[in-house]
């Protein structure tokens, strides 16, 4: 079964939260809005779903969401018949009203019965006002680029805006600390970056980045699964893993362990964060060379019978088997030996090769990508054979006559060519998810490159040579 399908299916099934016993009745009025369909769009991480719908039938712009069972608490968008929209926070108490006007949906919004949404629109109006002032300041600076007096005045304006925003957040934390909106808004804030902009050298810069990463999750209540039904968790996770972390397997694993362990205070949060990272670095999907190491580490460490409660026994066994099959051929591990049969019926071993670098090339004779890549590898080999490069080519799923015809047609007799129709000689040794699959081994048989195109091989070899100097 496809790994992404396994993970997504169990993730989507477990999105449901414990249903509230109260009903839902939310009344809306949008002055000036025409008749038509209204959609209530919910959020789960970076995915949207239709949570409900209703109609505006009169000329007063009135509509209502009325349900025997409540909506899942989270962040919602109300999509109006003219495709404009406004935002809404839903928590346990789902009996309130929202009134606004088409002239300005945000600034004209009035809330009754929902403190969460009162604070949401206080925050939105403040944010929009700040954005208008900032846009005006940028235009002034563009008109007077070298005016030091104007520049200082605008810096002062920016500082005042920043102070006002911090005071707004402080008031939220002080007066309404337990409200859903407060937790959502505070979770979205990042550490103050101003202290990290004056690094004198790379070492100090790395130290400051580490401090920034350490404080990145301070304001996030990872025990609150409602935050999964807003954009905040996935947005922070993306930044933490892909922007603030060097895209090297060891670095990714280190930061992934930090946030996954933090998330274990809540089952839903743990499930989402661990699954998101696994999907990000699954085979064939990741652009990071060696990213499969992240995939294998997380599955081996966290996707266990004790922790991965959302899996049934079969699906858990399938994904752990996938990780086991990949484990022997992870980047920077010693590549396993393969002993298989050449066209003359002789056994050939990777380990018997004495070359400085060995290209392990696995292909299917019927694969169009293999047919395109093979001539490129042949030309590379002609240029690099004298530099200590050998090719160990393994035909997969090929009948004997098809394999020998492929060797002849593509003129690759100079390679070490082997075939194993059963695939037993490579099973759980060199992982092949799609063909062609290309690994580079150095003289010590360490895997220094994988999932490569032919054009990338020289760079990998030169990097290895540089490390040895």
Distances from the Cα of 398 to the Cα of 213, 343, 362, 422, angstroms: 50, 12, 11, 9
For residue 62, give the 3-state DSSP assignment: strand
Per DSSP (E only), the strands in 20-120 are: 24-31, 36-44, 47-56, 62-67, 74-79, 85-90, 95-101, 110-112
Helices (H), 191-348: 202-215, 232-238, 249-263, 267-280, 292-302, 313-327
pLDDT (tens digit, 9 = 90+) per residue, 170-229?
999 999 999 999 999 999 999 887 656 666 787 878 888 888 999 999 999 999 999 999
pLDDT, position 4: 54
Report how far Cα 178 is from the mean position of its chain's Cα atoms: 29
pLDDT, position 455: 95
Distances from the Cα of 129 to the Cα of 112, 123, 136, 164, angstroms: 23, 10, 11, 11
pLDDT, position 10: 52
CATH class of the region 339-468 = alpha beta
**Proportion of the chain in helix, strand, coil states, percent, rounded to 5:** 45, 20, 35
Residues 305/308/309/312 CA torsion (nearest 10 deg): -70
pLDDT along the chain (469 residues), means of 10: 52 45 89 96 95 94 95 97 97 96 97 97 97 94 90 93 95 95 96 70 82 93 97 97 94 97 97 96 84 95 96 95 92 94 94 95 94 96 96 92 95 94 84 91 95 94 84
pLDDT, position 209: 86
pLDDT, position 1: 47
CATH classification for the domain delimited by 3-113, as one of 1.10.3470, 2.60.40, 3.30.450, 2.40.50: 2.60.40
Distances from the Cα of 210 to the Cα of 195, 263, 288, angstroms: 13, 19, 21
Please measure the distance between the N-terminal and C-terminal CA atoms of the chain and give it in whole angstroms.
45
pLDDT, position 437: 92
Report the alpha-carbon distance of residue 199 to residue 201 in Å, rounded: 6
């Amino acid at each position: 079964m496809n790994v992404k399908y396994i993970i997504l299916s169990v993730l989507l099934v477990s999105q449901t939260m414990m249903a509230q016993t109260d009903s839902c009745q939310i009344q809306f009025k949008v002055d000036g809005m025409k008749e038509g369909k209204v959609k209530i769009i919910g959020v789960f991480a970076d995915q949207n779903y239709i949570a409900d719908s209703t109609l505006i039938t009169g000329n007063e712009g009135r509509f209502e969401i009325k349900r025997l069972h409540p909506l899942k608490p989270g962040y919602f968008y109300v999509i109006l018949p003219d495709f404009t929209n406004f935002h809404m926070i839903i928590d346990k108490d789902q009996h309130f009203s929202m009134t606004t006007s088409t002239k300005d949906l945000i600034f004209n919004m009035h809330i009754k019965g929902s403190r969460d949404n009162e604070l949401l629109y206080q925050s939105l109006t403040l944010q929009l006002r700040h954005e208008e002032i900032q846009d005006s300041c940028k235009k002034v600076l563009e008109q007077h680029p070298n005016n030091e007096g104007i520049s200082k005045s605008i810096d002062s304006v920016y500082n005042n805006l920043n102070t006002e925003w911090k005071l707004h957040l402080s008031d939220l934390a002080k007066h309404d600390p337990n409200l859903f909106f407060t937790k959502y808004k505070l979770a979205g804030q990042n550490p103050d970056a101003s202290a990290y902009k004056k690094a004198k050298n790379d070492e100090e810069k790395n130290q400051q980045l580490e401090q920034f990463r350490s404080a990145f999750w301070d304001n996030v209540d990872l025990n609150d699964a409602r935050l999964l039904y807003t954009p905040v968790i996935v947005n922070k996770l993306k930044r933490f893993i892909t922007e603030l972390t060097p895209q090297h397997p060891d670095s990714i694993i280190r930061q992934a362990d930090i946030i996954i362990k933090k998330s274990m205070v809540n089952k839903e949060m743990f499930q989402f964060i661990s699954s998101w990272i696994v999907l990000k670095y699954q085979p064939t999907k990741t652009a990071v060379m060696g990213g499969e190491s992240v995939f294998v580490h997380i599955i081996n460490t966290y996707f266990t019978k004790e922790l991965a409660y959302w899996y049934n026994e079969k699906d858990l066994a399938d994904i752990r088997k996938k990780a086991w099959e990949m484990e022997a051929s992870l980047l920077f591990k010693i590549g396993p030996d393969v002993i298989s049969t050449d066209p003359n019926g002789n056994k050939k071993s990777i380990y018997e090769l004495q070359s400085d670098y060995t290209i392990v090339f696995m292909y299917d004779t019927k694969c169009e990508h293999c047919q395109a890549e093979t001539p490129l590898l042949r030309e590379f080999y002609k240029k690099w054979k004298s530099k200590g490069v050998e090719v160990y080519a393994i035909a997969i799923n090929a009948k004997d006559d098809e394999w020998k015809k492929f060797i002849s047609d593509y003129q690759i007799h100079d390679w070490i060519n082997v075939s194993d129709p059963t695939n037993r000689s490579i099973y759980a040794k060199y992982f092949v998810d799609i063909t062609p699959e290309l690994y580079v081994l150095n003289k010590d048989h360490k895997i220094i490159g994988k999932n490569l195109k032919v054009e990338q091989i020289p760079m990998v070899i030169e990097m290895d040579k540089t490390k040895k100097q």
